């Protein structure tokens, strides 16, 4: 074994760590603690006075019917986005794995959407499906489908889910491609000799061996759907029509920055944090058990 | 159980790389055919074509008298043991063995009976509930064998199944494979680059070189009458000595490159002036008491004492290094030192003469 490398200078390691620690402090711990602090205060709309109110904000938020609706909306949106993004990415990855010529080219093409900013992605989808000028909207209508996401809630939901999933597909795709490449080819050949057809091979060999990747992506995609989709929703529907696409993150923004109800908004973001922490803990506790690590 | 027949099988990768250049082998029912040759000679490619994992560019592969070129690996009813075992890492040993049977829709109790029987034969009964990573290399190797056995296929295909094991285990598994194959009587094709495995396992030995079968015969026949310089050098350890020589006047023997004249007994000698290679195995040279009875005098440059045998390395005295290096395998009781000059006789009929240009046996 090689001896441990020790920094001769006692200060240097701390200096090297400092930027990362500073970023985490400024952009995570500080806002998080602010949210916690705000969530127990009541502030007047002009921001002049604030008073300690204990858990009153939480009580009020949780008793609002609109909040419970938003939880439901978020659940539908997140599950659908994560599932769609992962299923499509897996499908594409499996297909690219079979291509021999020009594989690199396809892979590069697939990765591009990830470089598109959420708001831009949202605008793209908005334009494509805009009832008055969108190409796809036109195609849908000429196919006899009455398409108007600006008025129809479920259609608006479908649109944001598609846009949010589309952006995440590239990321998932990359991981699935890497995961597929890590499966030894002889295993697939052995299964073929053992009489398993292509579908059977996928479900009995490839899918179980991809489980570590799939699990990792499940955690990442859930978090993505909960938090990082704000930009897309903001650009495509603004939470509407009505409140049909108002997810929890969007509601935090809407109540806090549009309606200037900081106390409620802060309480909501704390609840949101708790939900995501609980969800992730659940995934690690119960789902990961089924994962076989090579 | 079935015969396996290859007819002029060729494989070209990507239109350019000709990995197998037309090989024909007939493997009788129940026998073991071993493909041996240096790395990259096309052994695995040939085996994979029999398995159906690689498309056949030209020629035909038949199993049980039926051409299978167009059939997928599953329909050929063969079982393969891979070098890295290719066990399904997420399945228990039991499920690894049962997988192929389940895919073929066999009844549960029949699967159970077969898996347990194979496990008992291979000494795996206590490991059935384990995952492959909880097994030693030798045990994994057995599971891979078990997976092949339970299927009772028409043929077993092995691709260097023992090369990941240590020397002792390899020797043991070699014998087990041989016994198993004999008792089951399943036609087998076995790829290796280990000549000990090749000699001991084969009923039919195929020595391959650069995509061609140089010689197909029983192991002993190949050892006794190698068809080419390549085969002569590849089979036997230490390798056969090869000395450059020219045919002498009728009745005069062979002239070695260094000037000495050799006259091996019971050997058909080439016509005068023909460039040849004289091949003699190290174990076919005997120490004689008298220079006059010697065919070659060996000037010793290095000695390897193996216990039972002593290997004397050197070159012919009368010659120079041009005639090549020589190794003689002498009994362990003979004491040899560097710079000794050993009078050696070639055992009657044990000289091999190859054409220098073509490398073929004369
Ligand atoms: N998929 C492939 N594409 C192109 N060339 C290949 C491919 N597979 C093998 N080859 C080439 O075909 C030749 C024979 O390869 P093969 O794997 O059959 O050798 P081998 O005799 O099994 O060697 P080893 O003892 O090292 O396993 C080699 O020159 C190799 O480079
Ligand atoms: Mg090989």
Chain B residues whose CB is inside 8 A of the A291 CB are none
**pLDDT for A228-246, tens place per residue?**
888 888 888 877 787 888 8
Token pair listed for B135: 């097994």
Torsion of the alpha carbons at B236, B239, B243 and B248, rounded to the nearest 10? -10
> Domain locations in chain B?
4-230, 238-355
Q: Do B73 and A200 touch (CB under 8 A)?
A: no
Q: Do B103 and A194 touch (CB under 8 A)?
A: yes
Q: Is B192 exposed, middle or buried (0-12, 13-18, 19+ CB in 10 A)?
A: buried
> In the CATH hierarchy, which fold is given to the domain comprising B238-355?
OB fold (Dihydrolipoamide Acetyltransferase, E2P) (2.40.50)
Arithmetic mean of pLDDT, A275-282: 86
Is omega for the bond preceding B238 within 30 degrees of 0, making it cis?
A: yes
Is omega for the bond preceding A241 within 30 degrees of 0, making it cis?
A: yes
B110 Rama class: left (phi>0) / alpha (psi -120 to 50) / beta: alpha
Beta strands in chain B (DSSP E): 4-13, 17-27, 32-36, 58-63, 66-67, 78-81, 155-159, 187-192, 204-209, 212-217, 241-247, 254-256, 261-262, 275-280, 285-287, 296-305, 309-316, 326-331, 341-346, 351-355
Q: Which of B12, B43, B53 to mutate to test the pocket of ligand 1 (most atoms within 8 A of CB)?
A: B43
Q: Is ligand 1 within 6 A of the CB of residue B192?
A: no
What is the C-alpha separation between A253 and A266, in angstroms, rounded? Answer: 10
For residue A114, the model assigns a pLDDT of 78
B238-355 and B4-230 share a CATH fold = no
Q: Please list, in sequence order, all residues whose beta carbon lies within 8 angstroms of the beta carbon of residue A265, skipping any fewer than 6 positions away.
A: A38, A252, A253, A255, A256, A257
What is the C-alpha separation between B355 and B118, in angstroms, rounded? Answer: 51
Q: Please list, in sequence order, all residues whose beta carbon lies within 8 angstroms of the beta carbon of residue A184, skipping any fewer than 6 positions away.
A: B84, B86
**Of the given ranges (A43-52, A107-116, B117-126, B239-248), which has the lowest mean pLDDT?**
A43-52
Q: Which residue, B198, B177, B186, B216, is CA-closest to B23?
A: B216
Determine the atom of ligand 1 nearest the C-alpha atom of B20: 14
User: Which string of b and e fits B217-236 if b means at least 16 CB within 10 Å?
Assistant: bebeebbeebbbbbbbebbb
Q: Binning pLDDT at 50, 70 and 90, where does residue A254 land?
A: confident
Second-level CATH architecture of B4-230: 3-Layer(aba) Sandwich (3.40)
Using DSSP's 3-state secondary structure scheme, residue B361 falls into strand
User: Which string of b and e fits A236-271 if b means at least 16 CB within 10 Å?
Assistant: bbebbbebbbbbbbbbbbbbbeeeebbbbbbbbbbb
Q: Please list, in sequence order, all residues whose beta carbon lies within 8 angstroms of the beta carbon of residue B245, skipping any fewer than 6 positions away.
A: B254, B255, B256, B257, B262, B276, B277, B278, B323
DSSP A2: P
Q: Express as a percent the part of chain A with pLDDT over 90.
A: 19
**pLDDT for A1-21, tens place per residue?**
456 777 778 888 889 999 999
What is the C-alpha separation between A124 and B144, in angstroms, rounded? Answer: 54
Mean pLDDT of chain A: 84
Min CA distance, A193 vs chain B (Å)? 5
Report the 10 Å Cβ neighbour count for A83.
15
Which of A103-117, A132-146, A266-280, B141-155 has the highest mean predicted lDDT (pLDDT)? Answer: B141-155
Arithmetic mean of pLDDT, A109-135: 79
Using DSSP's 3-state secondary structure scheme, residue B16 falls into coil
Here the ipTM equals 0.85
Beta strands in chain A (DSSP E): 41-43, 50-52
Interchain CB contact of A292 with B (< 8 Å): yes
- Cα four-point dihedral sign A72, A75, A78, A82: negative
Provide the CB-side half-sphere exposure for B314 (13 A, CA).
26
**C-alpha A103 – ligand 1 centre gap (Å):** 22
The pTM (predicted TM-score) of the whole model is: 0.82
Q: Do A194 and B100 touch (CB under 8 A)?
A: yes
Q: Please list, in sequence order, all residues whose beta carbon lies within 8 angstroms of the beta carbon of residue B161, skipping any fewer than 6 positions away.
A: B81, B82, B83, B141, B144, B145, B173, B177, B190
Residue ranges of chain B whose pLDDT lies below 50:
none
Interchain CB contact of A193 with B (< 8 Å): yes
Arithmetic mean of pLDDT, A171-182: 90
Token pair listed for B202: 């084969």
For residue A3, the model assigns a pLDDT of 63
For residue A104, the model assigns a pLDDT of 79
User: Has residue A287 got a pLDDT over 80?
Assistant: no
Residue B275: strand pairing partners: B246
Arithmetic mean of pLDDT, A189-202: 92
For residue B100, the model assigns a pLDDT of 93
Arithmetic mean of pLDDT, A270-287: 85
Q: Is ligand 1 within 6 A of the CB of residue B44?
A: yes
B42 Rama class: left (phi>0) / alpha (psi -120 to 50) / beta: left
């Amino acid at each position: 074994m090689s001896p441990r490398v020790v920094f001769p200078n006692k200060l240097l390691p701390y200096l090297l760590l400092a930027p990362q620690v500073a970023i985490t402090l400024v952009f995570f711990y500080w806002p998080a603690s602010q949210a916690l602090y705000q969530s127990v205060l009541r502030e007047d709309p002009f921001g002049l006075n604030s008073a300690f109110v204990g858990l009153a904000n939480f009580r009020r938020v949780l008793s609002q019917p609109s909040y419970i609706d938003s939880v439901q909306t978020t659940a539908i949106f997140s599950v659908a986005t994560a599932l769609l993004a992962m299923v499509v990415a897996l499908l594409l990855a499996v297909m690219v794995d079979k291509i021999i010529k020009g594989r690199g080219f396809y892979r590069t093409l697939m990765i591009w959407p990830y470089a598109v900013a959420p708001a831009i992605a949202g605008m793209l989808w908005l334009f494509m499906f805009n009832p008055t000028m969108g190409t796809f909207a036109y195609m849908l209508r000429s196919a006899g489908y009455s398409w108007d996401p600006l008025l129809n809630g479920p259609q608006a939901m479908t649109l944001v889910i598609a846009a949010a999933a589309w952006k995440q597909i590239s990321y998932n795709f990359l991981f699935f491609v890497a995961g597929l490449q890590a499966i030894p080819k002889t295993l697939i050949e052995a299964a073929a000799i053992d009489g398993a057809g292509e579908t059977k091979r996928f479900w009995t060999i490839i899918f179980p061996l991809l489980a570590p990747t799939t699990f990792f992506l499940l955690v990442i995609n859930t978090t993505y759907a909960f938090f990082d989709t704000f930009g897309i929703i903001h650009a495509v529907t603004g939470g509407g029509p009505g409140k049909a696409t108002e997810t929890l993150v969007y509601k935090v923004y809407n109540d806090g920055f549009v309606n200037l109800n900081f106390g409620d908004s802060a309480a909501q973001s704390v609840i949101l944090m708790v939900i995501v922490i609980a969800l992730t803990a659940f995934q690690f506790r119960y789902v990961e058990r089924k994962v076989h690590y090579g | 159980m079935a015969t396996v027949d290859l007819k002029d099988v060729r494989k070209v990768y990507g239109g350019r790389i000709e990995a197998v250049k037309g090989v024909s082998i007939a493997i009788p029912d129940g026998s073991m055919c071993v493909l041996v040759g240096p790395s990259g000679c096309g052994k695995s490619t040939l085996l994979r074509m029999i398995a159906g994992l690689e498309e056949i560019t030209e020629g035909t592969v038949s199993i049980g008298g039926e051409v299978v070129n167009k059939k997928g690996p599953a329909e050929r009813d063969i079982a393969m043991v891979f070098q890295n075992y290719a066990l399904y890492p997420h399945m228990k040993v039991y499920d690894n063995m049962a997988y192929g049977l389940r895919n073929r829709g066999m009844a549960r109790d029949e699967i159970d009976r077969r898996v347990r029987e194979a496990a008992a034969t291979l000494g795996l009964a206590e490991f059935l509930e384990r995952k492959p990573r909880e097994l030693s290399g030798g045990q994994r190797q057995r599971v891979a064998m078990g997976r092949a056995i339970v299927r009772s296929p028409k043929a077993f295909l092995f691709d260097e199944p023992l090369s990941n094991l240590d020397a002792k285990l390899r020797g043991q598994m070699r014998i087990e494979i041989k016994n198993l194959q004999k008792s089951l009587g399943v036609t087998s094709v076995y790829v290796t680059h280990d000549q000990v495995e090749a000699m001991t396992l084969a009923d039919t030995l195929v020595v391959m070189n650069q995509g061609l079968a140089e010689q197909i015969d029983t192991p002993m026949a190949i050892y006794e009458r190698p068809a080419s310089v390549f085969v002569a050098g590849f089979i036997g350890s230490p390798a056969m000595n090869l000395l450059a020589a020219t045919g002498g006047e009728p009745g005069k023997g062979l002239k070695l490159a260094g000037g000495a004249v050799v006259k091996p007994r019971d050997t058909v000698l080439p016509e005068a002036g023909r460039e040849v290679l004289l091949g003699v195995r190290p174990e076919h040279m005997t120490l004689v008491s008298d220079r006059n009875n010697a065919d070659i005098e060996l000037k010793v440059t290095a000695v390897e004492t193996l216990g039972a045998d002593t290997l004397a390395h050197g070159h012919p005295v009368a010659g120079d290094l041009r005639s090549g290096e020589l190794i003689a395998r002498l009994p362990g009781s003979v004491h040899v030192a560097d710079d000794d000059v050993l009078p050696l006789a070639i055992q009657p009929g044990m000289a091999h003469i190859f054409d220098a240009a073509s490398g073929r046996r004369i």
